[in-house]
Amino acid sequence: MARKPSVLVTGASTGIGAVYADRFAKRGHDLVLVARDRNRMEALAERLRRETGVAVDVLQADLTDAHDVTKVEARLREDERIGILVNNAGTSVPGGFAEQSPEAVSKLIGLNVTALTRLASAITPRFVAAGEGAMINIGSVVGLAPELGLTVYGATKAFVLFLSQGLHLELGPKGVYVQAVLPAATRTEIWAHAGKDVNALPAVMEVEDLVDAALVGFDRRETVTIPPLPDAQQWSAFEVARQAMLPNYGQSQAAARYRTAA
């Protein structure tokens, strides 16, 4: 029997990443855990080795640090056992755009966008050469909802969705599966980073429920998985409406509504 591919999970010390590690270990996959907190990862790794018998490597890295990102990129390029990348690491920052410093905004984009994209870029050539591989990118429904007010965070998650959809179109025919997972409010430590009390929110999904639902979408090979959305037809209708506009973008003149004075 062919050995199952190893799974590299970023942000693996807690929350969504830790549950992904748990679930893939229980499916018999060896793991590479990536996060800043070595102690938490070592504790998780020890438990998963004991409970499941899989091999678990711990790779301490701060994905807002370019040197550490380079270290993880090298592991993705060189370790041919890794066949699944879970791009989960992400954060938020307190306040609205007017209160957020340029440094905080830059760090947020660096983790949620730049690091995620660089890791995807590092592993993609090997996946394409092999004609197989899978990438799970954790986005957010906030990327579809500017009304929620998390402007920069939402913009980073809109990027994750677009990137995943684009990679699906580009890499899918080459045997590479790309999934975007869009959680809503989930009980993780990100709320503390954003300066908000998760218990004050009207509806919060537990992490285990979120990941288990996302893995159902993974097994079905969905391109976009939205665990909290009850009616899948709403997303389908959204996609149909978006695609219906595509032929209308290729015009040699501005639309008639813009060729008359207001």
87 in a structural domain? yes
- Confidence (pLDDT) at 169: 98
CA count, 13 A, side-chain hemisphere, 226: 16
152 in a structural domain? yes
- Confidence (pLDDT) at 185: 79
Per-residue pLDDT at 253 exceeds 80: yes
Per-residue pLDDT at 159 exceeds 60: yes
Token digits for 52? Answer: 């499941």
240 in a structural domain? no
Per-residue pLDDT at 189 exceeds 90: no
What confidence tens digit (pLDDT) does each residue in 66-96 have?
999 999 999 999 999 999 999 999 998 989 9
Per-residue pLDDT at 191 exceeds 80: no
Q: Would residue 221 be called left, alpha or beta, if left means φ above 0 and alpha means ψ between -120 and 50 degrees?
A: left
**Annotated catalytic residue within 20, 153, 249, 258:** 153
Which residues are CB-contacts of 75 (< 8 A; sequence separation ≥ 6)? Answer: 8, 32, 59, 82
237 in a structural domain? no
pLDDT above 70 as % of the chain? 95
250 in a structural domain? no
Per-residue pLDDT at 186 exceeds 60: yes
Give yes or no for a contact between 188 and 233, defined as CB atoms under 8 angstroms apart: no
Residue 136, domain extent: 6-230
Query: What's the total number of domains in the chain?
Result: 1
Token digits for 95? Answer: 């306040």
Give yes or no for a contact between 111 and 91, defined as CB atoms under 8 angstroms apart: yes
Token digits for 236? Answer: 């389908």
pLDDT band at 56 (very low <50, low <70, confident <90, very high): very high
247 in a structural domain? no
| Residue 249 designated active-site | no
Q: What is the CATH number of the domain that holds 70?
A: 3.40.50.720
Which residues are CB-contacts of 37 (< 8 A; sequence separation ≥ 6)? Answer: 13, 14
241 in a structural domain? no
Average pLDDT of the residues of the chain: 94
Residues 111 and 64: their CA atoms lie apart, in Å, by 5
